[in-house]
Amino acid sequence: MEALLRVENLGKRFGGFVALESIDLDVAQGERLGLIGPNGSGKSTLVNCISGTLRNETGTVQFDNRRMDGLPPHQRTRLGLARSFQLPKPFHSMTVAENLHVPLLYTVNARHETHLSNAAIDRRVEELLQQVGLAEKSGRRPRDLTQIEMRKLELARAMAAAPKLLIADEAMAGLSNAEVDDILTLLVKLSEQGITVVLIEHIMRAVMSFSQRLVVLVAGRKLADGPPQDVMRNPEVVRAYLGE
């Protein structure tokens, strides 16, 4: 079966610095993929290249059998490729609910197949807020939210875009155990709804329990790619993490 997301030979430099080199990555429909690597290994750069925020110099990104070359991020999101940001980037001048209006208005309603009325949009926003547990904060501004609530909003906004594939970029960093479980449950639910999820994380227990497959990135190169248990036993991976 054709992969939903296919990254081939992707490379990205910043001046003289090689951030990514020859990255090959396939993500199958419905898969739960974990992406790990030490700080600075290029994980966020990879996400940015896949989502279109950054332009890769070499290689291609294919999503849903379409080449993404030169497509701006908003078009990729409309095609079903969503991502959340490592550091939450909410729309500060809008309420929590309005933050979710945006992807519904601009992504979901931009697709030929769907058109939600204003009432339907409001209902969907309610639904999403319930799912992430932010229903009571619907009318508040992002600056009134706690760290974890901002993370949830960030995820909710990506979910609102009704994606086929969601890349969650370090959504759990700095959260307590209970909060990590919260987010994890959310992601599992998404996966059960048929959404392909790529989880980028440092928190190993979350990654291990969530992922069906694990990819390791070190210094801009893919080091390992396979079932989580196997990957974690790979001596090179162990060295990359512990030998530093």
Partner 1 sequence: MRTWIFWLVAAAVVAGIFGLTRFVTNDYFFFAGYVVLQYVVMATAWNILGGYTGYVNFGTAGFYALGAYSSVVLHKLFEPPMVVLILAGGLVSGVVGLGMGYLTLRLRGVFFAIATLALAIVLETLITNWDYVGGSRGVYIIRPAAAPFFQGGYIQYLFLVMLILAGMAVCVARSIEHSKLGYGLATIRDDELAAETAGVPTLKLKLIATVLSGALMGMAGAPLPYYITYLDPSSAFNLALAVNSIAMPMVGGTANWIGPVLGAVFLATVQQVATVTISSALNLLFVGVILVSFVVIAPNGIIGWFGRGKRRRQG
**Residues contributing to the site for partner 1 (CB under 8 A):** 51, 53, 72-75, 77-78, 82-83, 85, 89-94, 98, 101-103, 105-108, 110, 157, 160-161
Residue placing its CB nearer to partner 1 in the complex, 106 or 205:
106
CB of 106 to partner 1, least distance (A): 4
Q: Strand 66-67 vs strand 58-63: parallel, antiparallel, or unpaired?
A: antiparallel
Please say which residue, 108 or 224, places its beta carbon nearer to partner 1.
108
129, two tokens: 């807020």
* Cβ closest to partner 1, residue 38 vs residue 73: 73
Residue 214 DSSP SS3: strand
212: Cβ contacts below 8 Å, ≥ 6 apart: 31, 32, 33, 227, 228
End-to-end alpha carbon distance in the chain: 38
Tokens of 141: 């501004």
CA distances from 157 to 17, 73, 83, 102 (A): 33, 15, 9, 8
Closest CB to partner 1 among residues 10, 153: 153
Cβ of residue 82: shortest distance to partner 1, in angstroms? 8
- Distance in Å, CB of 64 to partner 1, minimum: 16
Shorter beta-carbon distance to partner 1: residue 89 or 233:
89
Closest distance to partner 1 from the beta carbon of 17 (Å): 21
Parallel, antiparallel, or unpaired: how do β-strands 58-63 and 5-14 relate? Answer: antiparallel
Smallest separation, CB 70 to partner 1 (Å): 13
Which of 225, 223, 201 is closest to 214 using CA atoms? Answer: 225
Distance CA 19, CA 38 (A): 13
Cβ(218)–Cβ(238) under 8 Å? no
Least distance to partner 1, CB of residue 216, Å? 26
Q: Which is nearer to partner 1, 12 or 213 (CB)?
A: 12
